[in-house]
Chains A and B, each alone.
Chain A
């Protein structure tokens, strides 16, 4: 009964490859997010989707393409991986991005290492 789940948990790949990370939430939330946490634990928002529509794109390179097939899923595809993409990627969800109910629920993270 995991609330926000991500797969895979670990991802090790070569520079230049394309990879995807999947996220699913069973909380019935309308809004989902992708965050990147660097080696210094700095957590920064990348994207936000509300009911399958992109509402936040925080100047992320276009090698990163989020896709939301339905409001319970938000996947992240990364093309031409670079060394600097190595980080922990967190998916999160919240009830509604417009109200004051902005508590976010985080997945366990995907640890990406680009060699």
Chain B
């Protein structure tokens, strides 16, 4: 399957703690993206990491990519209650899959105040 798979399915933490979510995939990719979805809303793009990159930062977000293991992780540091949402990884490939994003089922993150 070309879609990513997030792990864990659900994560519950206290404010101030770090949250780590993982994504595994099975095919070669051009890039991997992380999106966030608040309840009842559309997805919002968080960060894109290309296949030749190993780590990327954006504010409190840190994304790593290990193409040899076909996995990525999203770390949210010093989490806040407002970070409560579902987080999805999406893989983008080339060739016949150009233009397609394949999403996982997401990790539901709950941050308690």
- Give chain A's interface residues, CB within 8 Å of chain B: 4, 31, 40-45, 48, 50, 55-56, 58, 90, 92, 97-98, 100, 102-109
Contact = CB atoms under 8 A, between A and B. Distances in A.
A41 B31 contact: no
Given A41-B86, A43-B103, A55-B99, A100 B31 contact: yes
A42 B103 contact: yes
B31 A4 contact: no
B92 A41 contact: no
Chain B contact residues: helix, strand, loop or mixed = strand
B78 interface: no
30 contacts: A31-B99, A40-B105, A41-B106, A42-B105, A43-B88, A44-B103, A45-B100, A48-B99, A48-B100, A50-B99, A90-B42, A92-B42, A92-B43, A97-B99, A98-B98, A100-B30, A102-B33, A102-B48, A102-B92, A102-B99, A102-B101, A103-B45, A103-B48, A104-B45, A104-B101, A106-B42, A106-B43, A106-B44, A107-B42, A108-B42
A110 B103 CA distance: 19
B41 interface: yes
B50 interface: yes
Interface in B13-58: 30-31, 33, 35, 37, 40-45, 48, 50
Given A102-B101, A106-B35, 17 more contacts: A4-B42, A41-B37, A41-B86, A42-B103, A45-B102, A48-B100, A55-B99, A56-B99, A92-B42, A98-B99, A100-B30, A102-B31, A102-B33, A102-B48, A107-B42, A109-B40, A109-B42
Nearest to A31: B99
Contacts, number: 58
Nearest to A43: B103
Interface in B72-105: 86, 88, 92, 98-103, 105
Contacts of A56: 99-100
